[in-house]
């Protein structure tokens, strides 16, 4: 799980071009939107694309997406839940 | 031409040092390989970091030039935003199209798609300056900027207090290659300072952004009056000569800024100007900015700059033997690969 979260942080920084942010600046449970990283609605679409391209997970329901993209922790838990045991 | 139109502020990002500082001391930037790229400023001084991270190069260039132009004029929110671009954001368009191919039309990033639309720069300017007025982008190849100018003049004529008019264009390695396949660029590799010594088919590519605040009356900051604009689509040399004759008389012009680009395919048009306006000093500008759809905007910026400062940067124009004693009226003539031809007349204040 820790490895996945670290990888996710690196992928988020690269996908959203967060130039002045390092992986260690992103706390596992800090909100990605609004406060925290201060991402916006276009970023949420970019993160959906990231999930689809890197983890082959397609989020069909936008309401579900809101919960998944709350934090790095929630994203990692969602990815884990979709991966075969 | 009905009405009066004055340039009250302007800014340019180009392959030369045109964005800030004293023009007369800036050396000519020399590039090899037939492709001129812009000298870009530090965008962080103009655009918040959180917005900057998502923008591609042309968006940063266009928005920053527009903001610098507004600063120069002292106007925060213009009465209208009107621009022209031949290709818009090529970088985003290429990225988006490649992703369609690579990901088989699924999982596409929204950002390059949004920014690949031609009016993305206008939208960013409007958002940043909170301008909810008229907003339009013209995409008509070599007439893109000139149609934006024409629309701006009509708006001023109808009573708009001022208009932010501009143009932006970028070149990418991919687009350079595509256009080289149809012979737009010279087959021999040259540097821009030797352009006019290589009289052969094709020219050198370029890019740039230039913005202007246009108003209906002069101010203390006014650069020049835009006193004439004429567009001709694929004219014969005879038609071009006749149009030039009706556009302006020989006696009225102190200098011609010419879009001559050492391309033998279309030099016959520039020879018309040579014959018709013999004896009047001509300054070419394509060795400074290269060839692109909206190079006319660079010429307008350069002409207005020369009229205001009454100084010709000698290091940029080594071909000029005898500069005119005083610059009052400058004629700009440009054509885009022989198709779109433009005359613009600038008058000093």
> Could you read off the pLDDT of A15-48 as tens digits, one per residue?
999 988 999 999 999 999 987 788 988 999 999 9
Which of A18, A46, A53 is facing B110, going by the closest CB pair?
A46
Predicted TM-score (pTM) of this structure: 0.95
pLDDT of residue B23: 87
- Nearest-Cα distance to chain B for A28, in Å, is 21
Find, in chain B, the residue whose alpha carbon is nearest to that of A38: B50
Q: Position of tokens 């300054």?
A: B283
A59 lies in which domain range?
Answer: 2-82
- Phi then psi dihedrals of residue B9, to 5 deg: -175, 150
SS3 of chain A: the string is CHHHHHHHHHHHHHHHCCCCCCHHHCCCCCCCECCCCCECHHHHHHHHHHHHHHHCCCCCCHHHHHHHCCCHHHHHHHHHHHCCC
Beta strands in B208-267 (DSSP E): 208-215, 224-233, 255-258
Distance CA B317, CA B323 (A): 10
- The verdict on A18 touching B (C-beta cutoff 8 Å) is yes
pLDDT digits (tens, 9 = 90+) for B299-327: 999 999 999 999 999 999 999 888 888 89
Q: CA angle, corner B210, sides to B161 and B254, nearest 5?
A: 85
pLDDT band at B181 (very low <50, low <70, confident <90, very high): very high
Find, in chain B, the residue whose alpha carbon is nearest to that of A14: B53
- Nearest-Cα distance to chain B for A13, in Å, is 11
Contact at 8 Å (CB) between B178 and B144? no
- Nearest-Cα distance to chain A for B99, in Å, is 11
Which of A18, A20, A52 is facing B107, going by the closest CB pair?
A52
Q: List CB contacts (< 8 A) between B53 and chain A.
A: 16-19
Across chain B, mean pLDDT equals 96
pLDDT of residue B275: 95
Interface contact flag, A49 B107, Cβ < 8 Å: yes
Contact at 8 Å (CB) between A43 and A21? no
pLDDT of residue B120: 97
Token pair for residue B175?
């687009």
CATH number, position A16: 1.10.1200.10
Does the pLDDT at position B31 exceed 90? yes
pLDDT of residue B267: 97
- Nearest-Cα distance to chain B for A2, in Å, is 26
- For an interface test with B, give the residue of A35, A48, A52, A53 to mutate (most B CBs within 10 A): A53
Q: How, if at all, do strands B255-258 and B340-347 pair?
A: unpaired
The full set of domain ranges for chain B reads: 2-347
pLDDT digits (tens, 9 = 90+) for B276-290: 999 999 999 999 999
Distance CA B284, CA B122 (A): 30
In the CATH scheme, what is the code of domain B2-347? 3.40.47.10
What's the whole-number mean pLDDT along residues B239-248? Answer: 95
- Nearest-Cα distance to chain A for B288, in Å, is 33
Interface contact flag, A53 B103, Cβ < 8 Å: yes
Find, in chain B, the residue whose alpha carbon is nearest to that of A56: B107
- The verdict on A56 touching B (C-beta cutoff 8 Å) is no
Domain count, chain A: 1
Q: List CB contacts (< 8 A) between A46 and chain B.
A: 109-111
- The verdict on A53 touching B (C-beta cutoff 8 Å) is yes
């Amino acid at each position: 799980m820790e490895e996945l979260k670290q990888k996710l942080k690196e992928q988020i920084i690269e996908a959203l071009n967060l130039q002045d942010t390092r992986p260690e600046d992103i706390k596992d449970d800090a909100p990605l939107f609004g406060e925290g990283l201060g991402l916006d609605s276009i970023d949420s679409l970019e993160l959906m694309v990231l999930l689809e391209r890197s983890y082959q997970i397609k989020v069909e329901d936008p309401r579900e997406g809101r919960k998944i993209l709350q934090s790095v922790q929630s994203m990692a838990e969602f990815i884990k839940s979709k991966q075969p045991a | 031409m009905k009405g009066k139109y004055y340039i009250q502020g302007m800014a340019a990002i180009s392959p030369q040092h045109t964005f800030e500082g004293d023009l007369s001391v800036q050396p000519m930037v020399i590039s090899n390989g037939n492709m001129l790229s812009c000298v870009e400023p530090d965008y962080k001084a103009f655009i918040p970091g959180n917005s900057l991270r998502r923008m591609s190069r042309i968006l940063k260039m266009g928005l920053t030039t527009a903001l610098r132009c507004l600063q120069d004029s002292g106007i925060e929110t213009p009465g209208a935003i009107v621009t022209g671009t031949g290709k818009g954001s090529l970088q985003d368009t290429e990225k988006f199209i490649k992703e369609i191919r690579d990901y088989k039309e699924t999982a596409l990033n929204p950002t390059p798609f949004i920014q690949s639309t031609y009016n993305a720069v206008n939208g960013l300017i409007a958002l940043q300056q909170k301008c909810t007025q008229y907003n339009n982008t013209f995409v008509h190849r070599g007439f893109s900027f000139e149609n934006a100018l024409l629309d701006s003049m009509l708006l001023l004529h109808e009573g708009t207090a001022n208009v932010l008019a501009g143009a932006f264009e970028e070149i990418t390695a991919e687009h350079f290659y595509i256009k080289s396949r149809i012979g737009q660029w010279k087959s021999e590799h040259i540097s821009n300072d030797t352009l006019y010594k290589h009289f052969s088919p094709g020219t050198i590519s370029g890019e740039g952004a230039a913005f202007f605040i246009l108003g209906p009356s002069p101010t203390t900051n006014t650069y020049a009056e835009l006193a004439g604009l004429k567009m001709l689509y694929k004219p014969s040399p005879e038609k071009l000569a006749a149009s030039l004759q009706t556009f302006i008389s020989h006696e009225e012009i102190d200098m011609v800024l010419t879009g001559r680009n050492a391309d033998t395919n279309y030099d016959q048009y520039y020879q018309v100007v040579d014959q018709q306006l013999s004896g009047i000093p001509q300054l070419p500008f394509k060795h400074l900015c290269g060839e692109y759809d909206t190079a006319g905007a660079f010429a307008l910026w350069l002409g207005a700059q020369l009229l205001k400062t009454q100084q010709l940067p000698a290091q940029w124009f080594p071909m000029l033997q005898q500069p005119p004693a005083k610059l009052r009226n400058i004629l700009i003539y440009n054509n885009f690969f022989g198709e779109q031809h433009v005359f613009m007349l600038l008058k000093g204040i």
